[in-house]
Amino acid sequence: MTIQKQIVITGAGLVGSLLAIMLSKRGFKVSVYERRPDMRKERMSAGRSINLALSDRGWKAIRRVGIEEEIRKVAIPMYGRMIHDIKGDTAFYNYGEKDQAIYSVSRGGLNCVLMDLAEKHGAEIFFNERVEDIDLKNAVLTTENTSTKAKTLIQAERIFGADGGFAASRLQLQLKTDRFNYSQSYLDAGYKELTIPAADAGGFRMEKNALHIWPRGQYMLIALPNMDGSFTCTLFFPFEGVPSFASLDTKEKMLRFFNDTFPDAVSLMPDLATLYFENPTSSLVTVRCFPWAFKDKLLLIGDAAHAIVPFFGQGMNCGFEDCTVLDDLMNEEKDWNRIFSKFEHSRKPDADAIAELAVQNFIEMRDLVSKPEFILRKKIESRFHSRYPEKWLPLYSMVTFSEKSYAEALKEGKRQDCVMEKVMSIPGIETKWDSEEVEKIMLEGAERM
Ligand code: FAD
């Protein structure tokens, strides 16, 4: 048993590692306890291919710790959605203005760079150490080594709980404090990862600079590019019913369904049957809780405080923005009680807002993106934005390409919906979408926002 004084972070995932860099750079002695082995040595297969969309809020935090250039080299810009219809025909739609993009980055690759940098700045990361218990009042952690089963007691000055959606640190607040609010809600759909390998001669088998979507109403397949020419595909699909993960239970049924539903994707996935039956089916959860802090001893951050579903590509970006906000608060305040309290009160409305937006965006991605009314609405908004940029920023851009708080984005998005409902109900809007009549309604609507 060892006893030391320090700042402790639970979890060396994306947020824990980034936070370790920020705190170490400020001169704190930081120790991180991570349940998994060191992925830089073990090179887990999952660490290689799974990718995430990084956008402006994430880049801001990355810039702050000085690794923007390094990450840019391994980030693939995706300038828009490539929609694949049931016949295999495709159509491309920009996400924002021409040069605006979200970036596909390898989750494992990014995590490794962040851990390297955290260690370079003096943080120590202890792997195979699962956080088991926290004495909240005294900030003492108990970890168990996953191989030797040896227990260690760690005396911290304060603890940051960055151990993800199923955080042990959060459970401690739930079990040991009064009036801790907690809810988890699962979608009826889950997900499975599949792969489109690189072409035989190397290179990409589909457009590289796009996020590919096969929207099919109640479900969808998406694909993001990797640096090696492959694409990581994710099937978001109901657990039960027809069709569902439960109903596609033989190779024949699954292949028939894929051939009928995603014909152009199947032709690019030689290992489809193996991957479909070998890869796990995972669930999609939203976790809301509050408070996030226990006095000045423990603060939840990242998914530990607010796990969301992935349809706005914002979970990591939101967790990285948490780190930026905390870093700003540490500049303003010296008292940790105030830092923790200001943090949880300023971030909670934003976490709730992005959780709501993320669930909404599932419907948009799996269904609406292929509908002519949706495409027309986007065209009208985009035209109005380019004429009056200070009056109208489309919701996707507010969330992805701006620093506007998620809570404000949600509120403004709802107001925009009201205006657009009026616009879309104009008889013959298909032919009048760029008319003065439309512009007048939007200008009036924008004035009232
Ligand atoms: P995690 O990344 O989960 O890290 C938590 C760490 O804590 C892990 O290393 C874990 O091993 C460790 N840990 C857990 N329990 C313990 C314990 N008891 N003791 C010690 N260590 C422990 N976000 C985006 O911004 N863009 C995207 O495109 C995107 N796509 C996604 C796609 C999918 C399918 C999913 C599921 C999520 C996606 N996300 C995306 C969300 C993103 O993955 C998370 O928001 C992000 O990983 C949160 O980082 P974190 O560090 O808080 O948690």
* Ligand 1 atom at minimum distance from 132 CA: 18
- In this structure, which residue's CA is closest to atom 31 in ligand 1? 310
Question: What angle, rounded to 10 degrees, do the helices at 336-366 and 315-332 form?
Answer: 160
* Ligand 1 atom at minimum distance from 316 CA: 25
Please say whether the beta carbons of 208 and 76 come within 8 A.
yes
**b/e 384-423 (16+ beta carbons within 10 angstroms → b):** bbeeeeeebbbbbbbbbbeeebbbebbebbeebeebbeeb
CA 405-16-182 angle, to 5 degrees, is: 65
In a mutational test of the pocket of ligand 1, which residue from 14, 130, 146 has the highest number of ligand atoms less than 8 Å from its CB? 14
What are the two backbone dihedrals, phi and then psi, of residue 169, each rounded to the nearest 5 degrees?
-65, -40
Q: How far away, in angstroms, is 13 Cα from ligand 1 center? A: 6
Q: How far away, in angstroms, is 287 Cα from ligand 1 center? A: 13
Please say whether the beta carbons of 32 and 124 come within 8 A.
yes
- In this structure, which residue's CA is closest to atom 37 in ligand 1? 310
Among candidate residues 288, 259, 291, the one with its CA nearest the CA of residue 272: 259
Please say whether the beta carbons of 359 and 310 come within 8 A.
no
* Ligand 1 atom at minimum distance from 315 CA: 45
Q: How far away, in angstroms, is 318 Cα from ligand 1 center? A: 11
The tokens for 50 are 């799974």
Q: What is the pLDDT of residue 49?
A: 61
Rg of the chain over Cα atoms, rounded to whole angstroms, equals 23
pLDDT along the chain (449 residues), means of 10: 72 98 96 97 60 98 95 96 96 93 96 96 98 98 98 97 98 98 97 96 96 97 97 98 98 98 97 97 98 98 98 98 98 97 98 98 90 95 95 97 98 96 96 95 89
Burial of 81 from C-beta contacts in 10 A (0-12 / 13-18 / 19+): buried
Q: What is the pLDDT of residue 448?
A: 81
Burial of 368 from C-beta contacts in 10 A (0-12 / 13-18 / 19+): middle
Q: What is the pLDDT of residue 326?
A: 98
Instruction: Identify the three-state secondary structure at position 204.
Output: coil
Q: What is the pLDDT of residue 4?
A: 45
Q: How far away, in angstroms, is 165 Cα from ligand 1 center? A: 7
Q: What is the DSSP letter of 280?
A: P
Q: Residue 359: enclosing H or E segment and its boundaries?
A: helix 336-366
The tokens for 430 are 């298909």
Enter the pTM of the model: 0.96
Burial of 266 from C-beta contacts in 10 A (0-12 / 13-18 / 19+): middle
Among candidate residues 129, 180, 151, the one with its CA nearest the CA of residue 298: 180
* Ligand 1 atom at minimum distance from 284 CA: 36
d(CA 71, CA 435): 43
Among candidate residues 85, 315, 278, the one with its CA nearest the CA of residue 192: 278
15 lines ligand 1 (CB under 6 A): yes
In a mutational test of the pocket of ligand 1, which residue from 312, 316, 322 has the highest number of ligand atoms less than 8 Å from its CB? 316
Distant-in-sequence, close-in-space partners of 334: CB < 8 Å, separation ≥ 6: none
- In this structure, which residue's CA is closest to atom 32 in ligand 1? 310
Whose tokens are 């390409």? That residue is: 401
- In this predicted model, what pLDDT tens digit does every residue of 351-388 receive, in sequence order? 999 999 999 999 989 989 889 999 999 999 999 999 99
Beta bridge partners of 145: 129
131 lines ligand 1 (CB under 6 A): yes
In a mutational test of the pocket of ligand 1, which residue from 303, 306, 317, 362 has the highest number of ligand atoms less than 8 Å from its CB? 303
Q: What is the dihedral of CA 168, 169, 172, 177, to 10 degrees?
A: -150
H helix runs in 158-285, sequence order? 168-176, 251-261, 263-266, 272-278
d(CA 141, CA 118): 21
Q: What is the pLDDT of residue 48?
A: 47
- In this structure, which residue's CA is closest to atom 3 in ligand 1? 164
d(CA 248, CA 238): 11
Q: How far away, in angstroms, is 388 Cα from ligand 1 center? A: 38
What are the two backbone dihedrals, phi and then psi, of residue 447, each rounded to the nearest 5 degrees?
-60, -35
